[in-house]
């Protein structure tokens, strides 16, 4: 199979990706789509910084500015960071546990296409009368007052992509529970797999409240219900609760996989097993659990009263403990190790001070009474960018360099990688460190401009200059990707030479069935153990036999596309357009028709026979 994959034309490749249910190809789809939205969100960030570079600037208008900040936040969280994290989960997690695919390959593809069409739908708002402008938190009173269709795009787009994320989470949970290779016990799972597991559980429980909130807002805006209409008995604080019950775990949904990626990197490039593995697992689970207990710290100034504020303050501080455990474990993993400063390791090392800075300001924010001062100021902006850029984006960039050879079979250039790192690292601190002070000096967040004479000028200019460096870093990365793809120097199983976990025992990229024979796992860092005993690969746990594989399918694309069409109908139904109802019906017919087809048409998949697998072996023998 792999031999004629390379000869395919563009059309065939496109069709292949539109219909694929292979987790490795879906990972590439997530990487491309997420990367695209990352660039879009990044451009929006640059516009924000241009507008705020000098006081009383009129680069963009006030209304447009609010659209830009809303879309920057929404895009970066839902359409860039999450899919990019999903890309690595898809690419690596099944390989790490020794599985041939995820539990529900069809659902996996469906999840991607739902996210993709939800994201496209949301961004199309720019081309109809305006993007959402009520902030990524879309607080109900402002969102209800927002004119135009921006908020409707937000509500519908996020519902569609949210379903995609939810089923993705369920898929990973089942995969990790049911599909581990022989010997891969829970306490032998690599930490990235563990963080995928906990993250998926968080997704499962965090996304439904968001969905409910979005549905209520949709009902209010489109069908005249009164959930958030104070004069009719409604209450906008309900939205705040629902949003943050989702929104806080969301932070951990993003940052736990980042912790996972860094855990892999620290161990690999220190050539040492992760220090305190079991306490790392415990800390991951504990952070996930506590993540659900602290949502109201985003609402300290809402007026919940001192009792609620005090409880949530203390609960929030408690999260500092497991996070601290992790930091020290990472440091001690490097301690006594043999540390090699590859590009991924640069990010990992830089992550520690950056994330610690974000973490300590997190504890400061947890002190409720003091938070009355920090809340909704640039201090908060600085804090969460330290956590999300210093944690999540660093991890995504590190993961991109680390797993690139595994996903595409060729390395990214290390020199260019380090240039990207330094540009991004310097730009990041330059942009965000000063913002702590801007907040403390009294600058509220989400302001489209500021008046001179309040002491904000120099600092904002510095902050804007930092954004230039970050942009340059991203441009170098894009250049790196293009250059190395053109050169396309193929690499072997373990291009970094320090691989510890199962994915590095496979060819880069792995064959579409991953493992010819499922490997026998004898401990943590399974591949490392074999390497240390002088073996070249894993010991198989089963004789060579037929492999059962799922069929490719176009239906996931169609199901998601139907919802995309229906969402357009629903949106314009508010304007009493005559064509809107037929569009809703057509869209839903497409979706439910495709679901019906999926349900009544048996899909048993196919088998790769033993003989073909042996031929594959010979092919390679010839090539090598």
According to CB under 8 A, which one of 328, 554, 579, 606 is a site residue for other proteins?
328
Q: How many CB atoms within 10 Å of residue 205?
A: 16
According to CB under 8 A, which one of 135, 409, 507, 540 is a site residue for other proteins?
135
Q: Within the chain, what is the greatest distance between any pair of CA atoms?
A: 79
**258 vs 348, beta carbon nearer other proteins:** 348
Q: What gap in Å lies between CA 20 and CA 554, rounded to an integer?
A: 8
Q: What gap in Å lies between CA 232 and CA 118, rounded to an integer?
A: 32
According to CB under 8 A, which one of 4, 7, 9, 178 is a site residue for other proteins?
178
Q: Which stretch binds other proteins (CB under 8 A): 152-160, 312-320, 463-471, 583-591?
A: 312-320
At which residue do the structure tokens 């493992």 appear?
515
Pair 513, 94: CB distance under 8 Å: no
Return phi, psi of residue 527, to 5°: -70, -40
Q: What gap in Å lies between CA 200 and CA 203, rounded to an integer?
A: 5
Q: Which stretch binds other proteins (CB under 8 A): 30-38, 366-374, 535-543, 564-572?
A: 366-374
Pair 65, 447: CB distance under 8 Å: no
Q: Which stretch binds other proteins (CB under 8 A): 13-21, 214-222, 398-406, 407-415?
A: 214-222
**Residue 75, CB half-sphere, CA atoms under 13 Å: how many?**
29
**229 vs 414, beta carbon nearer other proteins:** 229
Pair 143, 217: CB distance under 8 Å: yes
According to CB under 8 A, which one of 5, 8, 341, 614 is a site residue for other proteins?
341
**183 vs 444, beta carbon nearer other proteins:** 444
Nearest Cα to 376, choosing from 315, 447, 311, 306?
A: 447
Kindly state the smallest distance separating residue 233's Cβ from other proteins, in Å.
Answer: 3
- 32 is an interface residue for other proteins by CB under 8 A: no
Q: Which stretch binds other proteins (CB under 8 A): 32-40, 204-212, 254-262, 570-578?
A: 204-212
Kindly state the smallest distance separating residue 456's Cβ from other proteins, in Å.
Answer: 9
- 103 is an interface residue for other proteins by CB under 8 A: yes
Pair 62, 48: CB distance under 8 Å: no
- 348 is an interface residue for other proteins by CB under 8 A: no
- 222 is an interface residue for other proteins by CB under 8 A: no
28: left (phi > 0), else alpha (psi -120 to 50), else beta?
alpha
According to CB under 8 A, which one of 57, 235, 517, 539 is a site residue for other proteins?
235
Kindly state the smallest distance separating residue 621's Cβ from other proteins, in Å.
Answer: 30
- 622 is an interface residue for other proteins by CB under 8 A: no
CA distances from 443 to 71, 109, 223, 432 (A): 21, 44, 38, 14
Give CA 88 to chain center in angstroms: 9
CA distances from 53 to 428, 430, 449, 465, 467 (A): 16, 13, 9, 8, 10
| Angle (CA) 345 351 357, round 5° | 160
Kindly state the smallest distance separating residue 486's Cβ from other proteins, in Å.
Answer: 31
Q: What gap in Å lies between CA 582 and CA 75, rounded to an integer?
A: 30
Pair 187, 281: CB distance under 8 Å: yes
Q: Look up residue 250 and give its two tokens.
A: 């969301």
**407 vs 524, beta carbon nearer other proteins:** 524
According to CB under 8 A, which one of 3, 187, 335, 545 is a site residue for other proteins?
335
**39 vs 238, beta carbon nearer other proteins:** 238
Q: Which stretch binds other proteins (CB under 8 A): 22-30, 250-258, 323-331, 483-491?
A: 323-331
Site for other proteins in 580-619 (CB under 8 A): 596, 599-600, 602, 604
Site for other proteins in 270-289 (CB under 8 A): 270-273, 275-279
Helix (H, G, I), strand (E, B) or coil at 130: coil
According to CB under 8 A, which one of 3, 13, 185, 226 is a site residue for other proteins?
226
According to CB under 8 A, which one of 1, 14, 187, 370 is a site residue for other proteins?
370
- The pairing of strands 606-608 and 547-549 is antiparallel
- 310 is an interface residue for other proteins by CB under 8 A: yes
Kindly state the smallest distance separating residue 624's Cβ from other proteins, in Å.
Answer: 25
**2 vs 141, beta carbon nearer other proteins:** 141
- Tell me, by CB under 8 A, how many residues bind other proteins: 130
According to CB under 8 A, which one of 186, 372, 554, 579 is a site residue for other proteins?
372
Instruction: Write each residue from 416 to 455 as x if it is in contact with other proteins (CB under 8 A), else as -, in one continuous string.
Output: ---------------------x--xxx-xxxxxxxx--xx
Q: Which stretch binds other proteins (CB under 8 A): 18-26, 347-355, 401-409, 566-574?
A: 347-355
**394 vs 408, beta carbon nearer other proteins:** 394
- 340 is an interface residue for other proteins by CB under 8 A: yes
At which residue do the structure tokens 């310097």 appear?
426
Kindly state the smallest distance separating residue 37's Cβ from other proteins, in Å.
Answer: 23
Helix (H, G, I), strand (E, B) or coil at 245: helix
Which is it for the CA torsion 610, 613, 618, 621, positive or negative? negative
Q: What gap in Å lies between CA 472 and CA 539, rounded to an integer?
A: 46
Site for other proteins in 513-572 (CB under 8 A): 532
Instruction: Write each residue from 43 to 62 as x if it is in contact with other proteins (CB under 8 A), else as -, in one continuous string.
Output: ------------------xx
Which is it for the CA torsion 301, 303, 306, 310, positive or negative? negative
According to CB under 8 A, which one of 39, 53, 60, 142 is a site residue for other proteins?
142
Q: Which stretch binds other proteins (CB under 8 A): 89-97, 151-159, 354-362, 535-543?
A: 354-362
- What residues contact residue 578 under an 8 Å CB cut-off, 6+ apart? none
According to CB under 8 A, which one of 36, 59, 139, 422 is a site residue for other proteins?
139
Kindly state the smallest distance separating residue 242's Cβ from other proteins, in Å.
Answer: 6
Q: What gap in Å lies between CA 18 and CA 201, rounded to an integer?
A: 28
Q: What gap in Å lies between CA 275 and CA 266, rounded to an integer?
A: 10
């Amino acid at each position: 199979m792999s031999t004629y994959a390379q000869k395919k034309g563009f059309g065939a490749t496109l069709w292949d990706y539109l219909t694929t249910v292979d987790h490795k190809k879906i990972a590439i789809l997530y990487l491309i789509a997420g990367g695209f939205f990352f660039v879009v969100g990044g451009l929006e960030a640059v516009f924000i910084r241009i507008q705020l570079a000098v006081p009383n600037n009129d680069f963009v208008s006030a209304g447009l500015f609010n659209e830009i900040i809303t879309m920057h936040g929404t895009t970066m969280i839902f359409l860039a960071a999450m899919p990019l994290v999903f890309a690595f989960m898809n690419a690596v997690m099944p390989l790490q546990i020794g599985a041939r695919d995820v539990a529900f390959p069809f659902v996996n593809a469906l999840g991607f296409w739902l996210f993709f069409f939800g994201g496209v739908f949301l961004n199309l708002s720019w081309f109809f009368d305006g993007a959402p402008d009520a902030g990524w938190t879309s607080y109900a009173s402002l969102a209800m007052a927002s004119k135009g269709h921006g908020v409707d795009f937000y509500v519908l787009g996020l519902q569609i992509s949210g379903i995609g994320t939810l089923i993705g989470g369920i898929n990973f949970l089942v995969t990790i529970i049911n599909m581990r290779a022989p010997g891969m016990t829970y306490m032998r799972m690599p930490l990235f797999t563990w963080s995928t597991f906990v993250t998926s559980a968080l997704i499962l429980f965090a996304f439904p409240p968001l969905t409910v909130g979005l549905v209520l807002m949709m009902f209010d805006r489109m069908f005249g219900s009164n959930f958030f209409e104070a004069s009719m008995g409604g209450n906008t604080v309900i939205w705040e609760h629902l949003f943050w019950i989702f929104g806080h775990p969301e932070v951990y949904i993003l940052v736990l996989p980042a912790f996972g990626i860094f855990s892999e990197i620290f161990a690999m490039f220190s050539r040492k097993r992760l220090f305190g593995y079991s306490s790392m697992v415990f800390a991951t689970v504990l952070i996930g659990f506590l993540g659900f207990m602290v949502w109201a710290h985003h609402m300290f100034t809402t007026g919940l009263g001192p009792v609620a504020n005090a409880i949530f303050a203390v609960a929030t501080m408690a999260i500092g403990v497991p996070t601290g455990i992790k930091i020290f474990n990472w440091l001690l993993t490097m301690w006594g190790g043999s540390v090699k400063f590859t590009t991924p390791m640069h990010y990992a090392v830089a992550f520690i001070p950056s994330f610690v800075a974000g973490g300590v300001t997190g504890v400061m924010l947890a002190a409720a009474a003091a938070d009355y001062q920090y809340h909704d100021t640039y201090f908060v902006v600085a804090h969460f960018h330290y956590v999300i850029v210093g944690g999540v984006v660093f991890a995504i960039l590190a993961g991109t360099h680390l797993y690139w050879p595994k996903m595409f079979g060729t390395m990214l250039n290390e020199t260019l990688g380090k240039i990207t790192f330094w540009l991004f690292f310097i730009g990041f601190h330059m942009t965000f460190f000063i913002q702590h002070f801007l907040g403390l000096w009294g600058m509220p967040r989400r302001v489209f401009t500021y008046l001179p004479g309040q002491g904000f000028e120099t600092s904002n200019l510095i902050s804007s200059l930092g954004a230039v460096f970050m942009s340059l870093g991203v441009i170098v990365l894009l250049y790196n990707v293009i250059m190395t793809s053109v050169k396309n120097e193929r690499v072997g199983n373990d291009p970094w030479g320090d691989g510890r976990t199962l994915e590095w025992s496979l060819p880069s990229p792995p064959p579409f069935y991953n493992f010819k024979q499922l490997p026998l796992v004898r401990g943590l860092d399974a591949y490392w153990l074999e390497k240390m005993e002088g073996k070249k690969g894993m010991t198989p746990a089963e004789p060579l036999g037929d492999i059962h594989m799922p069929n490719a399918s176009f239906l996931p694309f169609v199901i998601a596309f139907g919802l995309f069409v229906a969402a357009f109908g629903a949106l314009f139904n508010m304007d009493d357009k005559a064509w809107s109802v037929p569009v809703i019906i057509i869209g839903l017919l497409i979706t439910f028709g495709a679901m019906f087809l999926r349900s009544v048409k048996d899909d048993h998949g196919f088998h790769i026979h033993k003989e073909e697998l042996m031929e594959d072996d010979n092919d390679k023998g010839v090539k090598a």
